[in-house]
Amino acid sequence: MEISATTNDNISESSPSYATKTTAEISSNDNLPIAQAEIIIEEITRNHKLLHRHKLTQDNICIGRGYQNDIILADPHVCPEHLSLSYADNTWRIHDKNSINGTVLEKSRGKKQKADQQIVNDGDVLILGKSQLRLLFTDHQVASTVAFSPFESLIDFIRHPVAVFISIALFMLIAGNISYLNQPTETNISQLFVGAFSMSLLFALWPIGVALMSHITKHDPRILAQLGISFNFFILMWLTDFTEEIIAFNSASHSILGYLIALVPIALTFSLLWLNSYIGFHVGAKRRVLVALSITILLFGGTYLLEYSKKPEFNPHPQYNTVLMAPHYLLAPTNTVENFLTQSNALFEQANKAAQRH
Partner 1 sequence: MKVFFTLVFIVFSSTVFATEQAQTIFAQLTPALYQIKLIDKASGEKSSIGSAFQISKDGIIATNYHVISSYARNPEKYRIEYLDYQGNTAQVTLMSVDVINDLALVKRVVNADMPYFRLAKSPPIKGEKLFALGNPHDLGMIVVPGTYNGLKKESFNERIHFTGAINSGMSGGPVVNKDEQVVGINVATSGNQIGFLVPHDKLVTLFTDYKSSVQNRNTHNLPANIKQQMTTQLFTNQNKLMTTLLNSPWPSKALANKAMIPIIEVPFIRCWGDSNADKTDALILSAIARCSLDENTYLSSHFFTGSIEIEFSYMQAKSLSNNKFYHLYQKHIARASSGNRAGKNDVSEYQCHHDVVTPSSTANTAQTITNKSVFCTRAYQDFPGLFDVLYLGASIDKNQQALVSHFTLAGVSQENAMKFTGKFMEAVSWK
Residues forming contacts to partner 1 in the complex (CB under 8 A) are 180-182, 184-186, 249-250, 252-253, 313-328, 330, 332, 334-341, 343-348, 350-358
- Nearer CB in complex with partner 1: 91/177: 177
Chain-centroid distance, C-alpha 221:
12
User: Could you tell me the smallest distance in angstroms from the CB atom of residue 167 to partner 1?
Assistant: 23
- Nearer CB in complex with partner 1: 141/315: 315
- Nearer CB in complex with partner 1: 47/185: 185
- Nearer CB in complex with partner 1: 162/324: 324
User: Could you tell me the smallest distance in angstroms from the CB atom of residue 251 to partner 1?
Assistant: 8
Positive or negative torsion for Cα 245, 248, 254, 257: negative
- Nearer CB in complex with partner 1: 111/317: 317
DSSP structure string for 22-67:
HHHHTTT-SSS------EEEEEE-TT--EEEEEEE-SSEEEEESST
First to last CA, the chain: 82
- Nearer CB in complex with partner 1: 284/318: 318
Could you tell me if 39 and 61 are in contact, meaning their C-beta atoms sit under 8 angstroms apart?
A: yes
- Nearer CB in complex with partner 1: 285/351: 351
Beta bridge mates, 105 = 113, 126
What are the Cα distances from residue 174, in Å, to 169, 220, 235, 249, 261?
A: 9, 31, 8, 20, 20
- Nearer CB in complex with partner 1: 180/238: 180
Triad 86, 4, 22: Cα angle to 5°: 45
Could you tell me if 190 and 176 are in contact, meaning their C-beta atoms sit under 8 angstroms apart?
A: no
User: Could you tell me the smallest distance in angstroms from the CB atom of residue 255 to partner 1?
Assistant: 10
DSSP state of 119: B
- Nearer CB in complex with partner 1: 30/338: 338
Name all contacts of 47-54 with Cβ < 8 Å and 24+ positions apart. 48/125, 48/132, 48/134, 49/217, 49/218, 50/218
User: Could you tell me the smallest distance in angstroms from the CB atom of residue 288 to partner 1?
Assistant: 40
117 φψ region: left (φ > 0), alpha (ψ -120 to 50), beta (else): left
- 151, with CB counted inside 10 A (0-12, 13-18, 19+), is middle
Pairing of strands 91-96, 103-106: unpaired
User: Could you tell me the smallest distance in angstroms from the CB atom of residue 233 to partner 1?
Assistant: 24
Cβ atoms within 10 A of the Cβ of 50, count? Answer: 11
User: Could you tell me the smallest distance in angstroms from the CB atom of residue 328 to partner 1?
Assistant: 8
- Nearer CB in complex with partner 1: 117/356: 356
Residue 232: enclosing H or E segment and its boundaries?
Answer: helix 223-250
User: Could you tell me the smallest distance in angstroms from the CB atom of residue 322 to partner 1?
Assistant: 5
User: Could you tell me the smallest distance in angstroms from the CB atom of residue 242 to partner 1?
Assistant: 11
User: Could you tell me the smallest distance in angstroms from the CB atom of residue 189 to partner 1?
Assistant: 14
Orientation of helix 223-250 relative to helix 264-280, angle to 10°: 170
User: Could you tell me the smallest distance in angstroms from the CB atom of residue 222 to partner 1?
Assistant: 38
